[in-house]
Amino acid sequence: MAIEHLKRSKTEAEKAEEDSKVRGVVEATLADIKARGDEAVRDLSQKFDGYAPGAFRLSDGEIEAAMSQVSARDMEDIKYAQRQIRRFAEAQRASMTDIEVETEPGVILGHKNIPVQSVGCYVPGGKFPMVASAHMSVLTASVAGVPRIIASAPPVEGKPHPAIVAAMQLGGAHEIYCLGGIQAVGAMALGTQSIEPVHMLVGPGNAFVAEAKRQLYGRVGIDLFAGPTETMVIADESVDAELCATDLLGQAEHGYNSPACLITNSARLAEETLAEIDRILQILPTRETAAASWRDYGDVVLCETYDEMLKRANEMAYEHVQVMTDRDDWFLEHMQSYGALFLGPRTNVANGDKVIGTNHTLPTKKAGRYTGGLWVGKFLKTHSYQRIETDAAAAQMGAYGSRLCMLEGFVGHAEQCNIRVRRYGGRNVPYGEAAE
């Protein structure tokens, strides 16, 4: 049996047309921010969020006032999630060590892991206030030792969202802004009269935020292209349709363009999942967005073998991949392209999104083929160094270097080596020739 699509999402051409429209809007908006700075940022915030305060940066008093509105239960839940995320981030940081080795007598090579010096963390908050995104970016940057962490999220109902502010503050943000969308990431990256630019942008966002990060890449570093969320369920008859449908729609509710895909080798499970999705959409409070995503971006792929399921999953390289089969560890061993794996029916993507401890800022749009998600290592730059400690090593390395430079025709390079051979090796190398 060939691979069969029981349901297809929009075509690649249709998706590309949408991306093109977004690209034009973002390009014009970033140009406006670059030209007019704070004035443009204020105009954009007023236009899209109806919010134009005296200052977008929150004062200590405003931070305290926002945090005072968070209930004791919510505050404890935030702190619990941050403990989980901190533990895992600290373990990851401990795995990254500086090294120094002597590769030849007197030749010392090493590397140091140095934190990025300033980071802008974007926390989405339009349709849903993404409190957890503050943990994932701000706290992880803090564990990495970033000395300047600024965080920004849009206003919710005309004011800073209390729980987001609490998460940013507890996570270790040094500056907190109430500013959303392209204007937030643009201001953090380009700088304005009141906001000093950062060296790196991180955090998820809608299609416009993701495109802004793409266009700003190069001027600043970015974590990855984290656009509209994607979820994939790989399942066989070891699980039921209700579980599959719930996990697909749980992520489809993010927005109107959140891809969701079921890959299975069971025609019965595929058909029952389609029916179960229809049933759940009748009762799901967020059905308006979930239904739009499923209608336009939902796929059901029926395969004959587990090998076919694996091949198609790696080709699609989705952000979240929930594996519920009789061979979950086999998929763990053989999956190569994805954002994060969620293995077995007992866990789920929402755990990863909010509390379990792994980072939820993950690659989308097939970026999982060449990068993993946000983690403490993204905030560290690995820089190498070298040192030669003896005259003999300087002369030996210089002679090899001289000949290899001349092999490529770089006479000036060769002379950098030759002068060391002459001074430290006591050998007369004619100018512009290779050392013997």
Strand-by-strand arrangement of the 340-343 sheet: 4-7, 298-302, 260-264, 231-235, 320-324, 340-343
Of 105-109, 224-228, 260-264, the one with minimum mean pLDDT is: 224-228
Structure-token pair, residue 25: 């809007």
Residue ranges of the binding site for NAD(+): 122, 183, 206
Domains 22-95+115-223 and 228-373 share a fold: yes
Closest CA to 58 of 166, 207, 205, 198: 166
Q: If you average pLDDT over residues 170-188, what whole number do you get?
A: 98
User: How does strand 107-115 pair with strand 99-104?
Assistant: antiparallel
Closest CA to 183 of 62, 363, 56: 56
- Mean pLDDT computed over every residue of the chain: 95
- pLDDT recorded at residue 3: 83
How many beta carbons lie within 10 A of that of residue 188, not counting itself?
29
- pLDDT recorded at residue 302: 97
- Interval 290-306: pLDDT, tens: 999 999 999 999 999 99
Find the catalytic residue in 320, 360, 383, 389: 320
The pLDDT of residue 312 is above 80: yes
**Helix spans in 158-226 (H):** 162-171, 181-190, 207-216
Judged by phi (left if over 0) then psi (alpha if -120 to 50, else beta), residue 384 lies in: beta
- pLDDT recorded at residue 245: 98
- Interval 133-154: pLDDT, tens: 999 999 999 999 999 999 999 9
8 A C-beta contact, residue 389 and residue 364: no
8 A C-beta contact, residue 302 and residue 6: yes
Could you tell me the end-to-end alpha-carbon distance of the chain, in angstroms, rounded to an integer?
67
Residue ranges of the binding site: 122, 183, 206, 229, 251, 254, 320, 353, 408, 413
Residue ranges of the binding site for substrate: 229, 251, 254, 320, 353, 408, 413
- Interval 202-254: pLDDT, tens: 998 888 998 999 999 999 999 987 778 999 999 999 999 999 999 999 999 98
CATH number of the structural domain 22-95+115-223: 3.40.50.1980
- pLDDT recorded at residue 64: 98
Evaluated on CA atoms 278, 282, 287, 291, the torsion sign reads positive
Q: What proportion of the chain, given as a percentage, has pLDDT over 70?
A: 100
pLDDT band at residue 9 using 50, 70 and 90 as cut-offs: confident
CATH top-level class of 228-373 = alpha beta
- pLDDT recorded at residue 82: 98
- Interval 163-178: pLDDT, tens: 999 999 999 999 999 9
23's CB contacts (< 8 A; 6+ apart) are 211, 215
- Interval 313-370: pLDDT, tens: 999 999 999 999 999 999 999 999 999 999 999 999 999 999 999 999 999 999 999 9
CA distance 206 to 209: 5
Q: Per-residue DSSP letters for 409-427?
A: T-HHHHHHHHHHHHHHH--
Using the structure block, give the residue that is written with the tokens 């973002």: 26
CA distance 341 to 349: 9
Q: Per-residue DSSP letters for 340-372?
A: EEEESTT--HHHHHHTSSS------TTGGGT--
CA distance 55 to 158: 14
CA distance 232 to 264: 11
pLDDT band at residue 106 using 50, 70 and 90 as cut-offs: very high
Q: What proportion of the chain, given as a percentage, has pLDDT over 90?
A: 90
Query: Which residues lie across from 131 on neighbouring strands?
Result: none
Q: Annotated catalytic, 18? A: no
Residue ranges of the binding site for Zn(2+): 251, 254, 353, 413
pLDDT band at residue 1 using 50, 70 and 90 as cut-offs: low
Burial (CB count <10 Å: 0-12, 13-18, 19+), residue 146: buried
CA distance 276 to 253: 16
- pLDDT recorded at residue 27: 96
Closest CA to 171 of 123, 222, 205, 137: 137
Q: Annotated catalytic, 319? A: yes
- Interval 389-419: pLDDT, tens: 999 999 999 999 999 999 999 999 999 999 9
Enumerate the domain spans of the chain: 22-95+115-223, 228-373, 390-435
**DSSP SS3 for 72:** helix
Find the catalytic residue in 253, 276, 319, 415: 319
The pLDDT of residue 32 is above 90: yes
Q: If you average pLDDT over residues 111-122, what whole number do you get?
A: 98
